[in-house]
């Protein structure tokens, strides 16, 4: 699994699989044109040979790599490949694919197949799949679990998506503090293997109350007759199931954690968080940010139908349409002025556009500062002051440049002055709004990242048109 | 370090520190108005008391938390706090602060202080600081190292920023394969401690050629008389220093790694990558994406001077200005039409705006698919077909809605038709460009994420104005 080969072979594997699927499609086409019955095709040797070759390729791939292949294939071919994947790998692969693609796979599976797939997984993994499972299958899964795991699954399902409870797993290795390292090592050898990402043991008392942790690193370097109580660290970073997942992710980054315990209100150990779950969370959040900034409701299957894509995108287009209509009505108020000086129509989008761009720069800074907790309403004033300074400087410089350009185009000295003034004023508006909008959204308890950009662009568009056309109507007419 | 307390206490600590700084500023103000000489102030008891209290608070904070506090303070106060930080912690804190803030701290430090700070760090950490160090300090640091570390630092400095070489560290624990577990454990106990994030030992031969790895997990569960060669895993994911850091990060996410070896072309072990370095890299990349999408050159110190901020932002504003000027000249071509029908001026920004929004949706999808390697020029045609379908549907629906609205506003049936047609055509343009622009940029070897959004907006603006005003001139006049 050498890296450069990993990457290339994954791309190559994808290409080889597409090639095999192409060949198979060719056979099917031939059959179709000669009107050979479909069941004969399925029986045909050539067909079988391609599928066997495909299956051989898939069997050696890591589940994450199979997921990658599935995501890269159009629906029909994706399902051919999915059929070839060994049933006992279904569960782990379903965990790895994106939400949109998972839905297309699950839609094609029989309830029994889904139940079998779920039964291969840990309870925390089943909880990740649960939103996409049909209700009756989920009930069957619950029925198939023993009481401890059923209780775990039910509690995992009860936590909202962005909490530590939704991120945690139950692969915890616990140990008592009153034993020596030698006894501990004997216990571990009896276990025979440890769960993935085990970098430490959780030291608990009789009632599962967390007393501290002992890292494997300490276990292998300390003397065998040392007591666990002597080498355990009690300054552990720990979480509660209802904690915010984003804050937990920040703690993982800040303190460079690999795993961390999750405890209930009585300090009883209930699970753990691992760095791989945190990394997936960070990636998903950052993707979700990008999607929502571009006006997509969620991640889209690249091969989704036109209709599915339209559904994913229409909401933001509708919002954009409304803000555009408002801006249009602002222009409509000044139609009389535009009839007299058509140059206004040509210049006004510049004023609005630069305002939007500058406002988005400000808002990006402020949203980040708010997310880090380094900006709050207490230093709002100093932020506004600074942004006003930047806006004033930019307005005078770029507004001045534009004034000069406008003069060369229209030879109207007053028009140039209006242009410069309007640019400056709209940039000042953008600066104030860029600071105020996200801070107010935060105070209202909303995520300042979502929609801020739409809101500021709406204001700098309508505002820019109003300022420019208003000034022009006042001075030039 | 309980989490909820961690978070709150960090915010609280910040507030307490600001409060202490406020009190101190008050004292200074009083002194200033009574014109007490400054050296008396420095000697004054009250002053000293505040500073001592501050220092006590800082001493118990994790370096990452001190960095957080420094980033949240305006320059003057930041430097007061920085002076209070114990000199032996300077190095690790400099590593944690953002690039912009690091520069403000380093600018205030004497060469000797910088040299002392660097000497506390590992060579890979010095390499991270190096770009911000004055040249002569860096030379002094190099001179102060032994030959092995000097060679390491020089090689680390020689790798470009986005390579595995720039991410790797040298905290590797190596071991031979021909020994038993018991001997290995004795060796580890002699070492006494292991570097952070050690989850496995690297098994090498006499020439440091990597033979495989043994995880601590396996070490603690296997029998003492087992040979390392029996329990080592040789299907290791490994990297070369010149590999792309982004690909390495994807491999860490895909295969859930904690550490991975870095080898040279002869398979000789040269370093390792740890998951915390990867996580920092992912965070930085995602932040850099957000900044460049908003038109910021890089991360900005929240308390940067107006002048610094203007420098960080001007380039994108200038590009935006040029594209806006082009769009303006397109409108200028149709000034005659606008003079006759001023309604055109009010409606045209809607056509352009919706086109830009829709184009950005498409481009976000395609850029993501390209980054994942799931979209390539081979399936460009099927992508274009799908996006054209989405655009056609959106164009007819939203264009139709707008046509109706335009009719109610202007009672001109022809104008409504032009509106609907122009919307549809501009959405089709946005669809094609949204697919083609990022694919062409990738083929030219450029990052499709940077600037794609600006480019598509420029096209849908100018294109939208041209289509709408062109159609209107042709049909209505």
Considering only the beta carbons, identify the residue of B345, B350, B373 that sits closest to A324. B350
- Judged against a pLDDT cut of 50, whether residue B7 lies above it is answered with no
State what percent of residues in chain B have pLDDT above 70.
94
State what percent of residues in chain B have pLDDT above 90.
53
Question: Which domain CATH number covers B318?
Answer: 1.10.357.20
Amino acid A40: pLDDT: 59
| Residue A122, token pair as written in the block | 């840990």
Q: For residue A61, tell me if it sits in a domain.
A: yes
The pLDDT-based confidence of A427 (bands split at 50, 70, 90) is very high
Most A CBs within 10 A among B346, B434, B461, hence the mutation to make, goes to B346
Residue of A239 and A378 predicted with greater confidence: A239
Most B CBs within 10 A among A181, A217, A281, hence the mutation to make, goes to A217
Question: Which domain CATH number covers B101?
Answer: 1.25.60.10
The pLDDT-based confidence of A3 (bands split at 50, 70, 90) is very low
Amino acid B277: pLDDT: 93
* DSSP E strand stretches across A180-310: 200-204, 210-215, 259-263, 269-274
Q: How far is A63 from chain B (nearest CA, A)?
A: 9
Q: Which residue has the tokens 């599928």?
A: A51
Count the domains in chain B: 3
Q: For residue A185, tell me if it sits in a domain.
A: yes
Amino acid A45: pLDDT: 67
Average pLDDT over residues B184-213: 92
Amino acid A270: pLDDT: 92
Question: Which domain CATH number covers B234?
Answer: 3.10.580.10
pLDDT in tens, B389-441: 999 999 999 999 999 999 999 999 999 999 999 999 999 999 999 999 999 98
- Judged against a pLDDT cut of 70, whether residue A458 lies above it is answered with yes
Amino acid B42: pLDDT: 54
Nearest Cα residue in chain B from A308: B390
CA atoms within 13 A of residue B33's CA, in its CB half-sphere? 5
Q: For residue A299, tell me if it sits in a domain.
A: no
Answer whether A216 sits within 8 Å of B221, measured CB to CB.
no
Same structural domain for residues B202 and B244?
yes
- Of A403, A96, A2, A449, which Cα lies nearest the Cα of B234? A2
Weakest-pLDDT range from B38-52, B137-151, B183-197: B38-52
Q: Which of A293, A325, A349 lies at the terminal end of a domain, its last residue?
A: A293
Average pLDDT over residues B184-208: 92
Answer whether A255 sits within 8 Å of B296, measured CB to CB.
no
- Judged against a pLDDT cut of 60, whether residue B238 lies above it is answered with yes
Residue of B299 and A334 predicted with greater confidence: A334
Average pLDDT over residues B51-72: 89
Supply angle C-alpha B251, B256, B257, rounded to 5: 75
- Judged against a pLDDT cut of 80, whether residue A180 lies above it is answered with yes
Average pLDDT over residues B247-260: 92
Same structural domain for residues B322 and B216?
no
- Judged against a pLDDT cut of 90, whether residue A36 lies above it is answered with no
Query: Which residues in chain B have Cβ-Cβ distances shorter than 8 Å to A252?
Result: 279
What SS3 state is found at A202? Answer: strand
Amino acid B2: pLDDT: 42
The pLDDT-based confidence of B5 (bands split at 50, 70, 90) is very low
Q: Which of A162, A197, A216 lies at the terminal end of a domain, its last residue?
A: A162
Average pLDDT over residues B340-358: 94
Answer whether A372 sits within 8 Å of B11, measured CB to CB.
no
- Judged against a pLDDT cut of 90, whether residue A369 lies above it is answered with no
The pLDDT-based confidence of A2 (bands split at 50, 70, 90) is very low
- Of A123, A187, A112, which Cα lies nearest the Cα of A153? A123
Same structural domain for residues A195 and A320?
no
Same structural domain for residues B317 and B392?
yes
Nearest Cα residue in chain A from B262: A3
- Cα separation, B91 vs A64, whole angstroms: 39
Q: For residue B169, tell me if it sits in a domain.
A: no
Answer whether A331 sits within 8 Å of B349, measured CB to CB.
yes
Whether ipTM tops 0.90, in short, is no
Query: Which residues in chain A have Cβ-Cβ distances shorter than 8 Å to B313?
Result: 358, 361, 390, 394
Same structural domain for residues B157 and B208?
no
- Of A78, A83, A145, A138, which Cα lies nearest the Cα of A111? A138
Q: How far is A143 from chain B (nearest CA, A)?
A: 31
Query: Which residues in chain A have Cβ-Cβ distances shorter than 8 Å to B278?
Result: 279
Same structural domain for residues A113 and A227?
no
- Judged against a pLDDT cut of 50, whether residue A5 lies above it is answered with no
Same structural domain for residues A26 and A146?
yes
Answer whether A398 sits within 8 Å of B321, measured CB to CB.
yes
State what percent of residues in chain A have pLDDT above 90.
53
- The pTM of the full predicted model, rounded to 2 decimals, is 0.86
Nearest Cα residue in chain B from A397: B314
Query: Which residues in chain B have Cβ-Cβ distances shorter than 8 Å to A198?
Result: 217
pLDDT in tens, A289-334: 888 877 888 878 888 888 888 888 888 899 999 999 999 999 999 9
Same structural domain for residues B85 and B205?
no
Considering only the beta carbons, identify the residue of A6, A217, A383 that sits closest to B216. A217
Residue B266, domain extent:
174-293
Q: Which of A127, A162, A197 lies at the terminal end of a domain, its last residue?
A: A162
- Cα separation, B214 vs B184, whole angstroms: 11
Considering only the beta carbons, identify the residue of B303, B310, B327 that sits closest to A394. B310
Nearest Cα residue in chain A from B359: A294
Considering only the beta carbons, identify the residue of B258, B295, B321 that sits closest to A360. B295
- Judged against a pLDDT cut of 80, whether residue B106 lies above it is answered with yes
Answer whether B390 sits within 8 Å of A310, measured CB to CB.
yes
Average pLDDT over residues A339-358: 94
- Cα separation, A144 vs A163, whole angstroms: 26
Q: For residue A463, tell me if it sits in a domain.
A: yes
Answer whether B317 sits within 8 Å of A280, measured CB to CB.
no
Same structural domain for residues B146 and B238?
no
Residue of B32 and A292 predicted with greater confidence: A292
Average pLDDT over residues A17-32: 75
Amino acid B44: pLDDT: 65
Average pLDDT over residues B329-337: 95
pLDDT in tens, A43-57: 566 667 888 888 888
Average pLDDT over residues A456-475: 95
Same structural domain for residues A332 and A446?
yes
Same structural domain for residues B280 and B315?
no
Q: How far is A239 from chain B (nearest CA, A)?
A: 5
- Judged against a pLDDT cut of 60, whether residue A73 lies above it is answered with yes
Q: For residue B168, tell me if it sits in a domain.
A: no
Same structural domain for residues A100 and A15?
yes
Q: For residue A167, tell me if it sits in a domain.
A: no
Residue of B460 and A377 predicted with greater confidence: B460
Q: For residue B167, tell me if it sits in a domain.
A: no
Answer whether A189 sits within 8 Å of B221, measured CB to CB.
yes
């Amino acid at each position: 699994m050498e890296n450069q080969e990993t990457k290339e072979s994954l791309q190559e594997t994808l290409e080889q699989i597409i090639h095999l699927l192409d060949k198979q499609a060719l056979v099917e086409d031939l059959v179709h044109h000669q009107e050979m019955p479909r069941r004969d095709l399925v029986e045909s040797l050539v067909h079988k040979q391609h599928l066997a070759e495909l299956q051989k390729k898939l069997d050696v791939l890591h589940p994450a790599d199979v997921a990658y292949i599935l995501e890269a294939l159009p629906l029909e071919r994706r399902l051919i490949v999915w059929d070839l994947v060994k049933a006992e790998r279904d569960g782990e692969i379903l965990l790895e694919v994106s939400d949109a693609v998972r839905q297309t796979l699950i839609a094609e599976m029989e309830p029994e197949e889904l139940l079998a797939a779920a039964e291969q997984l840990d309870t925390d993994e089943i909880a990740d799949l649960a939103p996409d499972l049909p209700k009756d299958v989920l009930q069957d899964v619950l029925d198939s679990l023993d009481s401890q795991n059923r209780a775990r699954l039910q509690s995992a399902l009860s936590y909202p998506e962005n909490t530590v409870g939704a991120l945690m797993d139950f692969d915890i290795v616990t140990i008592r503090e009153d034993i020596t390292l030698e006894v501990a090592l004997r216990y571990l050898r009896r276990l025979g293997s440890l769960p993935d990402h085990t970098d430490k043991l959780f030291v608990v008392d009789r009632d599962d109350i967390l007393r501290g942790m002992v890292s494997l690193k300490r276990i292998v370097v300390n003397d065998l007759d040392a007591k666990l109580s002597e080498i355990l660290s009690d300054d552990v970073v720990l979480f509660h199931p209802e904690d915010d997942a984003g804050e937990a992710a920040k703690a993982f980054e800040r303190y460079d954690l690999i795993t961390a315990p999750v405890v209930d209100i009585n300090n009883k150990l209930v699970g753990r968080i691992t760095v791989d779950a945190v990394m997936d969370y960070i990636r998903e959040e950052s993707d979700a940010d990008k999607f929502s900034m571009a006006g997509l409701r969620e991640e889209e299957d690249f091969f989704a139908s036109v209709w599915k894509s339209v559904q994913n995108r229409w909401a933001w287009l509708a919002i954009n349409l409304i803000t555009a209509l408002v801006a249009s009505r602002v222009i409509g108020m000044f139609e009389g002025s535009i009839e007299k000086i058509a140059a206004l129509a040509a210049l006004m989008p510049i004023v609005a556009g630069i305002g939007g761009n500058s406002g988005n720069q400000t808002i990006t800074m402020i949203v980040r500062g708010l997310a880090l907790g380094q900006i709050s309403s207490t230093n709002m004033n100093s932020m506004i002051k600074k942004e006003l300074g930047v806006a004033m400087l930019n307005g005078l410089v770029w507004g001045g440049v534009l004034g000069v350009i406008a003069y060369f185009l229209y030879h109207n000295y007053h028009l140039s002055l209006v242009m410069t003034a309007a640019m400056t004023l709209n940039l000042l508006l953008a600066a104030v709004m860029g600071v105020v909008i996200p801070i107010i959204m935060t105070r209202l308890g909303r995520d300042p990242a979502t929609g801020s950009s739409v809101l500021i662009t709406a204001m700098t568009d309508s505002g820019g048109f109003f300022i420019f056309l208003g000034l022009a109507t006042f001075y030039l007419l």
